[in-house]
Amino acid sequence: MGPILLTLVLHSAIPALLAHAPLRVLGIEGQPVFLKVNVPPDFLVRDALWRFLTPAEELVAISFKGTAQNVYQSRFYGRSRLHTNFSLEISPAALGDSGIFSALLVNTTGEIEKQIFHLEVYDVVSTPTIHVFGEESNPNRKSGSCEFFLACAASRGTNVTYSWAGPGGETLAGENHSALENGQVLRAKLDLSEKMASNYTCTVTNAVSAKSVSIEVQEQCQRQSGKQISYVVAANEPFPA
């Protein structure tokens, strides 16, 4: 293919691709979510057809010559509403509603406008708790240092990621800190001769929410100096096994 032809193909293909790139919509479990269709100017909609495409294709709602109706057998029956502006409302949204939707609009002259939506439904994260565990006996451990694990857990939230910050919010890296278990556990070594604040913050994040909790370990380390820390700080929720 010559460069001129290639340029022509790319130029004509890119607007089409952009027009059909799925629009990402975030939903929260238990709350309403709107899939807002964009009706082009001067496009006089006669019929509208909403489909859920994954995992199996289902009709969700249709509007034919101005009469809207939900389709009986869809998983959204009783939870979906086709508005007069042809947007689809799902209320309440459920985790299993995540997937691809397509809206097909037909105008009075038979032209078709198709829009694709990628709905992602998440459960919001709850405030996490941190548990502290002492390092197992380590004969090489220098006196005056405190070695421990911090385990962070949120009892609610889907598709979460965990991150840690040290005093002042700096990210933790290097020889004295390492993250384990996909970031849920932080292994840390603290120098007790440095009388500095040593609070650690765990943040749990997903696409719709974020929650943090902080813990101060210096005092615990001082008190246990020379001894083994076993289980320093009890949190108000049990750590899930």
Ligand X SMILES: *[C@@H]1O[C@H](CO)[C@@H](O)[C@H](O)[C@H]1NC(C)=O
Report the interface residues with ligand X, using CB under 6 A: 34, 36, 83, 85, 87, 120, 145, 158-159, 174-176, 189, 191
Q: Which is nearer to ligand X, 115 or 203 (CB)?
A: 115
Find the shortest distance in angstroms from Cβ 97 to ligand X.
12
Find the shortest distance in angstroms from Cβ 170 to ligand X.
10
Q: Which is nearer to ligand X, 7 or 178 (CB)?
A: 178
Q: Is the peptide bond before 238 cis (omega within 30 degrees of 0)?
A: no
Q: Which is nearer to ligand X, 87 or 126 (CB)?
A: 87
DSSP string, 10-63: HHHHHHHHHHHSPEEEEEETTS-EEE---PPTT--EEEEEEEE-SSS-EEEEEE
Residue 219, SS3 per DSSP: helix
Please report which helix (H) or strand (E) contains residue 164, including its range.
strand 161-165
Find the shortest distance in angstroms from Cβ 227 to ligand X.
18
Q: Which is nearer to ligand X, 203 or 206 (CB)?
A: 206
Find the shortest distance in angstroms from Cβ 129 to ligand X.
22
Q: Residue 239 to residues 105, 123, 127, 129, 184: CA-CA distances in angstroms?
A: 50, 19, 13, 8, 12
DSSP assignment letter at 74: S
Distance CA 50, CA 34 (A): 13
Q: Provide the CA 85 distance to its chain's centre, in angstroms.
A: 29
Find the shortest distance in angstroms from Cβ 158 to ligand X.
6
Find the shortest distance in angstroms from Cβ 25 to ligand X.
11
Q: Which is nearer to ligand X, 126 or 158 (CB)?
A: 158
Q: Is the peptide bond before 40 cis (omega within 30 degrees of 0)?
A: no
